[in-house]
Structure 1
Amino acid sequence: MPGGMPKPFPFRYGIEIGSSTSIMGPSMPARTREVLISHLASYNMWALQGIEFVVTQLKSMVLTLGLIDLRLTVEQAVLLSRLEEEYQIQKWGNVEWAHDYELQELRARTAAGALFVHLCSESTTVKHKLLQE
C-alpha cells in the first residue's frame, strides 16, 4: 500500500473472507483455514485462552485478530461487535443503567483479554554482563 501504510486485515494473512446471509455462515476455503490454524499455532496455550476469551466477548474471530494485531482499538472492536444493538438503541432509545453498563463491561472484558494475550505473547531476555576488574 502507498506510504508504508499497514495492510488491512484479510490482506495481512493473504486469505479470503466470505459473507453469508445464512445462519450457517460462509464456506471457508481450505487455504484460509490452514493460514488461520498456522497463525493460531504460533501462540502459546495461555495466549490462546486469552484469544478465546476475546472471541467470546466480541463474537468474532475477525474482530479479535484485528484487535490483537493492533489494527483496531478496543472501542472500535466493541462498537463493530455491537452494530445491531447500536442500531436498536438509536431507533428505540437508550436505557442508561442497562445499555451503558453493558457497553462499559464489554469494553473492560475485551481490553483485559487483549492485554492478557499480549502479555502472554511477549518474550524478554535478560543478559548479565560479566564485570571485569
Structure 2
Amino acid sequence: MSSLRHYNEAGAGTTYSEQCGYSQAVVIGDIVKCSGQGGWDNSGNLDGEDFTLQVRNAFENVERVLAAAGVSAGWDAVYSLRSYVVGASSETYQPLVDMLKAKTPNHRPIWTALTVPELAFPGMRIELEVEAYRH
C-alpha cells in the first residue's frame, strides 16, 4: 500500500481525519477518490436547518479536498458523483441539480443519488463522494 497517497485539506477535513482515523482523499495513479464531504463549513460548523447552505458547503468541501490532492481543475476533473441525502424530495433535489450544473458547466459527470435515513453527524443532511481524474 505504499504507493497510495492520502490527503486532507486544512480545516474541518484535517480535524475529522484526526478524530475519526480516515483520510479525505486517496490518490491511486491518476485517480483521486474523495471520502464523503458533508455540508459543514471549513471550521466544522453545520447548520441543520439550511439544506441549500449544506449543499453549497459540501460542493466547496469537495473543491478543497481535490485541491489538497493536487487536482487543479476542481470540479472540471470530476467524472463520478454520489450524493447521499437525508429525506430526499423535490425540495432537496433541485439545489443539488442547480449546484452540479453550476460547478460542471462544460461536462456531465455520472451521478448516483441516494436517499438515506441519517448521516454521520447530527443535523447533517447531505454528503457528496466524488472521483476525479488528475491530469
Q: Common fold, TM-score beyond 0.5?
A: no
Instruction: State which structure, 1 or 2, has the greater radius of gyration over its C-alpha atoms.
Output: 1
Using the size of structure 2 for normalisation, the TM-score is 0.29
Higher share of residues assigned helix: 1
- Of structures 1 and 2, the one scoring higher in RCO (CA 8 A, sep 6+) is 2
Using the size of structure 1 for normalisation, the TM-score is 0.29
Higher share of residues assigned strand: 2
